[in-house]
Amino acid sequence: GTAARDGEPRSGGPADSPFVRACRREPGPHTPVWFMRQAGRSLPEYREIRANVPMLESCRRPDLVTEITLQPVRRHGVDAAILFSDIVVPVAAAGIDLDIVPGTGPVVAEPVRTAVDVERINPIGRDDVSYVDEAVRLLVAELGDTPLIGFAGAPFTLASYMVEGGPSRTHAKTKALMYGDPELWHALCARLAEVTLAFLRVQVDAGVSAVQLFDSWAGALSEADYRRYVLPHSAHVLAGLNEAGVPRIHFGVGTAELLGAMGEAGADVVGVDWRTPLDVATRRIGPDRAVQGNLDPAVLLAPWEVVEGQVRRILDQGRAAPGHVFNLGHGVLPETDPEVLTRVVALVHELSARPAA
């Protein structure tokens, strides 16, 4: 940063931003806010740019990735950008034939169910995802003091898509493999963990200020099974970033019973969905980690008075945590009015503003 003038706070770039400070449990000027799926279908400018470009292709074009990632930053004034990509991008780069089908999600041509299938998941390096490396570098240059969040899917959530062949409500085939052939299960998760770690390292090396590990579907498991079948693999990913020095956010949905374990896996920040109040979550997670969350995305469809009340409640409950990053409990719903998102950002900033020291 440049030398501080008298009375002016020193600008330390994204590492000194309200978002990164909250992740590190350091005080800041206000509670930072960003939204999962802030780049996406709630924005008309996103729908326009994506009109004739398939999802995976858009993730492989650095010009489009850069523009789409910046759209919600410009529009909403959020405290962080999240890289536009998808959790299946590195798995496709690892050699698995898959597509992202509009309205459905990831669909895998030949589901992964045998030892031979697991061998089809190749290790990846920077050259396999050079478009991500390039997009992150372009974004870091554009964003200035605004931090960029990198991300990847956690082994369990990726394994579910690979084994089921697509989205699943019950994760039945995934669990059948996990319980029926634990050795194969661990081999699959170990492969996916290496792909995820390599993908995150590319993003860190290119300059992201934080990473989020999405284990969206981990809430399908009991705590005992999570600890036995999943935690070691996610912990391997998170520990592999120890030297990187960037905050690690660990997120899942329906994880009330798993919050402690997800923190222990090696997170600096634990993502919480709307089912668990942040003060309760903080008791489960402990004093050594910040929390992120946790407005129900459906509340954004309610009258503004309701939204405002819920935002106030979440900020109050978040004061119990040693650090709070405001977010939704899951991704923005496509039918959300983007003006409501912009108002939420302003409201969070206004209600949480702390006088300069």
Instruction: For residue 274, state whether it binds ligand CP3 (rule: CB under 6 A).
Output: no
330 is in an annotated binding site: yes
39 is in an annotated binding site: yes
Q: Catalytic site residue 86?
A: yes
**Residue at shortest CB range from ligand CP3:** 216
CA distance 54 to 39: 15
**Residue labelled with tokens 């919600």:** 72
Q: According to CB under 6 A, which one of 44, 102, 182, 309 is a site residue for ligand CP3?
A: 102
State the catalytic residue, choosing from 37, 61, 126, 227. 37
CA distance 346 to 168: 36
Q: How far is the CB of 86 from ligand CP3 (least distance, A)?
A: 4
- Where does this chain touch ligand CP3 (CB under 6 A) — which range of 97-105, 124-132, 274-282, 284-292? 97-105
CA distance 272 to 320: 14
Q: Catalytic site residue 161?
A: yes
The tally of CA atoms less than 13 A away on the side-chain side of residue 151 is: 24
Give the residue among 320, 313, 265 at the shortest CA–CA distance from 291. 320
Looking only at residues 329 through 348 of this chain, which bind ligand CP3 when binding is defined by CB under 6 A? Answer: 331
Q: According to CB under 6 A, which one of 19, 156, 199, 214 is a site residue for ligand CP3?
A: 214
Give the residue among 186, 229, 236, 180 at the shortest CA–CA distance from 213. 236
Count of residues near ligand CP3 by CB under 6 A: 22
Q: According to CB under 6 A, which one of 21, 64, 73, 86 is a site residue for ligand CP3?
A: 86
Q: Catalytic site residue 50?
A: yes
Instruction: For residue 215, state whether it binds ligand CP3 (rule: CB under 6 A).
Output: no
Q: According to CB under 6 A, which one of 24, 41, 75, 275 is a site residue for ligand CP3?
A: 41
Instruction: Tell me the H-state helices in 83-129.
Output: 89-93, 115-119
State the catalytic residue, choosing from 21, 50, 191, 284. 50
Nearer to ligand CP3, 297 or 318 (CB): 297
86 is in an annotated binding site: yes
Q: Catalytic site residue 5?
A: no
CA distance 96 to 161: 11
Q: How far is the CB of 60 from ligand CP3 (least distance, A)?
A: 13
Nearer to ligand CP3, 108 or 315 (CB): 108
State the catalytic residue, choosing from 24, 41, 61, 227. 41
**Residue labelled with tokens 């570098």:** 137
Q: According to CB under 6 A, which one of 65, 70, 84, 210 is a site residue for ligand CP3?
A: 84
293, 314 contact by CB (below 8 A) = yes
Instruction: Output the DSSP codes for 52-75.
Output: TS-HHHHHT-HHHHHHHHHHHHHH
Q: Which residues lie closer than 8 Å to 251 by C-beta, 6 or more apart? A: 36, 212, 213, 214, 215, 216, 270, 271, 292
Report the phi/psi class of residue 95: left, alpha or beta, with left for phi > 0 and alpha for psi in -120 to 50.
Answer: left
37 is in an annotated binding site: yes
CA distance 230 to 221: 9
- Where does this chain touch ligand CP3 (CB under 6 A) — which range of 79-87, 184-192, 258-266, 311-319? 79-87
Q: Catalytic site residue 61?
A: no
As annotated, the active-site residues are: 37, 41, 50, 86, 161
Residues of the shown chain interacting with ligand CP3 in the complex, contacts defined by CB under 6 A:
36-41, 50, 55, 82, 84, 86-87, 100, 102-106, 151, 214, 216, 331
Q: Which residue numbers belong to the known binding site for substrate? A: 37-41, 86, 161, 216, 330
